[in-house]
Structure 1
């Protein structure tokens, strides 16, 4: 199949909060550019982007999806990214491989805050981005109010590129602030030029002046023209927009109604004129090594039912061909993706985003080169920490052997998942970013790998310790069954240790009353008992000393002394006032300052100990609260935190120490686990 010759490439991510209309915008972009003849709808489960069954079941994007279209001899590869915060890692991994991003949002000032983490990532990585305010037919805020709200979450100047024309509450067209030409929307057709509405001239001039002044901050010549009241030519304005967008100095704002294709053609034209090309992006990223040496980076990994593993890569330099060896692995197929459909291609040039087949042992974020001597590690998106857990087990016990390999593939597809075989509770725990995130993972285990799972809340790994010393406890094991018997006799001292000291075993035997060869058996018996103490949990922070004992020259053995030690521990621990300990985590909760008081209340209500809070460095208007939080209170902490903070609050945590469980709560735990 002969490929169409194109003169350029643009890779554009479509990002934004959940329900903003990203997938609908992609359908419209593909439709108006002639790639598809009929648009799908999310509610009908027939869109190009939401092609996986898990996405269609939930009517939401749950993974990165690409689609290409040729427009004015330029090949656009659009990367549709999930909007849910639970799948943010997918978005961040993909964004490092694009030339620009369209941030899709709704025209509601009270939801603009949900863009803050995304804008922060884009600005930290200096990724050029523009805003498309979608659903303007449902706007309940003035356009300029929405612009002003956007300014509160962007560290780059927000620059209007258009101004809306409305009739009553209906959006009927727009004014292009560069050409000062007004346009009237038509369903299913390009907008028509119309005379400038007289009643909007003043607002249009104010918006245009705001745009020009923002551009002039980075162009002295334009500043001089404005000071001298010279109307700059369109070519100069477009050149400034292209230069300043490409350098991530400004954020141009467009608008429309993607469902009706309103504003989509002007958006596509602006991307054509103003979005940076791949060479500019590579230069901005400092990729100027060897122009002919293949260099690529994996931005997403898929496991497909038919084709096996596919690695979606951004080609930064050189040419990739089928069969090329990258990082010591031979490429088994080269494809351009349209949702889940694959089109074989013979080669991929610098600047393209394509899928490579069968790159085993290659992971998302990896840098790919053909020559090991020229190897360089390109920066990759920071890994998000898991914050929500579920204990899982196969419905069929025979499937346990398949579980680890299936989960390994699951984690390759989605690096924001993690799993562990917990040493204390012996559970397999799947970690992720929220309940929906883990439900999608479980659906994939069932559908892709025929591994239906049962789930329950992970058990809290409680421990126990003692408050008092038992100076001398006696344990004797004597067993006679014909022939040699069994005899072991020990005296132990059991005493508490400071928190965090763990376990110590010592012996003060004199005169050989317990022969040296039997002492390891005593320690073994003590250790075995401590795995399941009098309250039913592992015992910590205890010192045990073997102080005395006796033996039989024929009947004694290491095994007999092991049993004697267990008997002594069983008797002695009851005298030491055993007490329940719970794991305490150290958490840092980050949220916009307006929610700080709610965060403090949330932590206090979950038995948290507030350590303090301070402004979050490099995050304007955000605070970071430090606290100790019992692990027992953490299961749905992220759910409530997001609910209180419009979905933008997040936290990091790590195990810090063990602490006594309060009396009544300890009774409840022991009754539940009894």
Structure 2
């Protein structure tokens, strides 16, 4: 079936009927795998729509997106960036989201309240797993989405072959909206299958309309019919027209494209080169004609018809000198500067400044209405994910943003002890900005441990601590929770006697130390009879035992042991709590080396998710890290992915994510859960003990 189903010649409508046109400011997320060209596309959009005089460059650190010092330094997105522009008298806010999986929380927080997303990708099979992760996030939230196949000028595959490859990452049918026009071995333009026009690219300029003939015309007919067939899957009238060889009206085709996009039935695919600004204006026109507006978004979020002013906070920023800003999308109503607001968390606040943000530039506003994206000043109690209202009662929470489990940690210490409080405050602000960071205090090692999503994630956090919050920190790998146990029971007397004029010190205890089963912890038993140790000193004896077990002969806390107080003696004048506590500690210290101490290390169960082609590499990584593979299976609901379960020593998990990401093109991840303590013997144990003694 390759018949000509095009509309009559001379028809040049840019869209379908005006009834489907969205109204109000629109918000579009730019998402996609790492280094796919999202920020470059944003620059091209801003330049072509007149928001900036010239597109900036990521490499030259002149882009509107990636404007932070950390993004400039690493030449990559590390936080989302909003930018507002006007196209054909309509306002658009684009949210440029980081592509690295380590900074994906920003994308997850932003996309629930956007009208649509543009997924920027390229014809690179290695990035397919990353693309699948991003598309699944959008699919699960039913966010309308376009796919912009970037760097088309560098493609070395046919578009249909590329589309078949990309389809593996999408549960929604990918609908080819354009086909390339070839000039020899290079792509010189494209055909818009809905508009039925051919365009030749002109670098940094509007494309030129050209006539199609010969083989290009045949290719256009075939590709257009294929597009219409997919649309007809959900349009009986269109299916009937195709079966009867009737050319469907062009406005009906555009209406179908808009409707099926909004219903999540298709993901249109457009072509271009952001670096050359090719295909950018056609993308903008597709967004204008087909992407939904705020009206559809509030329906999706369940607040259509709300009489209250509502906004969704998707990002928190602490400026070095400007205080706290809450980036929010206004869903309904209007927010005025100075207005009192209630958050879904139950907290209240007062807006102190409303700003429109484009990159690092802010413009003060008196108010913000439905559809607009603004920064709200100094709402100290408001957090990312909160819903805000100007009504008196707290609104329901409209979004739930669960950060991914952390996979890498580092222990931090302030460079100067007097900065400890300052470090704590800075870490709290960092966690507000990025809830996928976590801060934990280890009571055993007294370390402050910062958890994150990967090596770069933690590196950027340290840079922000230093550059924005003025806190210099030292960092090192967190201490592993090694412990000791014993194999042999021992009976040991502990005696403390000291006379130095006046009242002396005297305490005497007889202790039985015996091993317990693994995981039993510590048990203290009192078997004193006849008052050999007065009752008022028993508690002190237990405290002394605990003191002695805090550091065993190998240098680690001792566990899985029962200590029984069986006998002792006291002095009516010289005995005291402190004397008996010291005696018990001495008894434990002298007994433990005789009990055949053994080293224990924590073992975790890890569950790794990875693309199937990387499973063999993952198994090799686990084996090299003393892992015991429990099994693997296909990942439920994720075609082309596996889930590998294994047990691994905690000491081997420390930097596992770095090697895992390298083996999985940046897409792999894992979760962990403590399983048990296990004995460590041989050379490994000797190395651990030696390292502990050096550190001590």
Shared fold per TM-score greater than 0.5:
yes
2:334 to 295, 319, 335: 319
1:528 to 527, 547, 557: 547
Structure 1: which 4+ aligned runs deviate by more than 6 Å? Answer: none
State how far apart, in whole Å, the 1-side matches of 2:213 and 2:332 are.
49
Q: Give the superposition deviation at 1:380.
A: 2.0
State how far apart, in whole Å, the 2-side matches of 1:21 and 1:298 are.
26
State how far apart, in whole Å, the 1-side matches of 2:236 and 2:125 are.
33
State how far apart, in whole Å, the 2-side matches of 1:99 and 1:629 are.
44
What are the residue-to-residue correspondences of 1:356-395 with 2, within 5 Å? 356-373=376-393, 375-395=395-415
State how far apart, in whole Å, the 1-side matches of 2:111 and 2:294 are.
14
State how far apart, in whole Å, the 2-side matches of 1:119 and 1:127 are.
10
Aligned to 2:278: 262
| CA deviation vs aligned residue, 1:177-224 (integer Å, no higher than 9, x gap) | 112211111123211111114222333233222211221111111111
Please tell me whether residue 30 in structure 1 is matched to residue 49 in structure 2: no
Please tell me whether residue 412 in structure 1 is matched to residue 432 in structure 2: yes
State how far apart, in whole Å, the 2-side matches of 1:208 and 1:650 are.
40
Q: Give the superposition deviation at 1:302.
A: 0.7
State how far apart, in whole Å, the 1-side matches of 2:464 and 2:263 are.
40
Aligned to 2:105: 89
Q: Give the superposition deviation at 1:113.
A: 3.0
Aligned to 2:572: 553
Aligned to 1:428: 448
Q: Give the superposition deviation at 1:60.
A: 1.1
2:322 to 307, 325, 343: 307
Q: Please say if residues 548 and 586 of structure 2, whose CA atoms lie closer than 8 Å, have aligned partners that are also in contact.
A: no
Aligned to 1:342: 362
Aligned to 2:520: 501
1:640 to 642, 659, 666: 659
Aligned to 2:312: 297
Structure 2, unmatched stretches of 5+, are 1-21, 343-347
Q: In structure 2, do the counterparts of structure 1 residues 662 and 128 end up closer, same or farther at CA, with 3 Å as the change threshold?
A: farther
* CA-atom RMSD in angstroms: 1.4
State how far apart, in whole Å, the 1-side matches of 2:665 and 2:222 are.
32
Q: Please say if residues 96 and 380 of structure 1, whose CA atoms lie closer than 8 Å, have aligned partners that are also in contact.
A: no
Aligned to 1:128: 144
Q: Give the superposition deviation at 1:618.
A: 2.2
What are the residue-to-residue correspondences of 1:200-219 with 2, within 5 Å? 200-219=216-235
SS class of match (1:391): strand
Aligned to 1:287: 303
Aligned to 1:465: 485
Aligned to 2:630: 611
Q: Please say if residues 301 and 398 of structure 2, whose CA atoms lie closer than 8 Å, have aligned partners that are also in contact.
A: no
Q: Please say if residues 33 and 127 of structure 2, whose CA atoms lie closer than 8 Å, have aligned partners that are also in contact.
A: no
SS class of match (1:42): coil
What are the residue-to-residue correspondences of 1:525-604 with 2, within 5 Å? 525-604=544-623
State how far apart, in whole Å, the 2-side matches of 1:298 and 1:285 are.
14
Aligned to 2:75: 59
2:293 to 250, 256, 277: 277
State how far apart, in whole Å, the 1-side matches of 2:326 and 2:333 are.
18
SS class of match (1:145): helix
Q: Please say if residues 108 and 139 of structure 1, whose CA atoms lie closer than 8 Å, have aligned partners that are also in contact.
A: no
Q: Please say if residues 96 and 381 of structure 1, whose CA atoms lie closer than 8 Å, have aligned partners that are also in contact.
A: no
Q: Please say if residues 325 and 379 of structure 2, whose CA atoms lie closer than 8 Å, have aligned partners that are also in contact.
A: yes
TM value normalised by structure 1: 0.97
State how far apart, in whole Å, the 2-side matches of 1:110 and 1:594 are.
11
TM value normalised by structure 2: 0.94
SS class of match (1:673): helix
Count residues with an aligned counterpart. Answer: 667
Please tell me whether residue 660 in structure 1 is matched to residue 691 in structure 2: no
Q: Please say if residues 392 and 427 of structure 1, whose CA atoms lie closer than 8 Å, have aligned partners that are also in contact.
A: yes
What are the residue-to-residue correspondences of 1:477-516 with 2, within 5 Å? 477-516=496-535
Q: Please say if residues 292 and 319 of structure 1, whose CA atoms lie closer than 8 Å, have aligned partners that are also in contact.
A: no
Aligned to 1:115: 131
Q: Give the superposition deviation at 1:617.
A: 2.1
| CA deviation vs aligned residue, 1:470-494 (integer Å, no higher than 9, x gap) | 1x21111111111111111111111
State how far apart, in whole Å, the 1-side matches of 2:682 and 2:391 are.
64
Q: Please say if residues 311 and 389 of structure 2, whose CA atoms lie closer than 8 Å, have aligned partners that are also in contact.
A: yes
Q: In structure 2, do the counterparts of structure 1 residues 634 and 197 end up closer, same or farther at CA, with 3 Å as the change threshold?
A: farther
Q: Please say if residues 7 and 73 of structure 1, whose CA atoms lie closer than 8 Å, have aligned partners that are also in contact.
A: no
State how far apart, in whole Å, the 1-side matches of 2:199 and 2:502 are.
105
SS class of match (1:63): coil
State how far apart, in whole Å, the 2-side matches of 1:657 and 1:426 are.
22
State how far apart, in whole Å, the 2-side matches of 1:344 and 1:488 are.
74
State how far apart, in whole Å, the 1-side matches of 2:677 and 2:214 are.
71
Q: Give the superposition deviation at 1:374.
A: 5.5
Q: Give the superposition deviation at 1:372.
A: 4.8
Q: Please say if residues 67 and 77 of structure 1, whose CA atoms lie closer than 8 Å, have aligned partners that are also in contact.
A: yes
Aligned to 2:153: 137
Q: Give the superposition deviation at 1:112.
A: 2.7
Aligned to 1:3: none
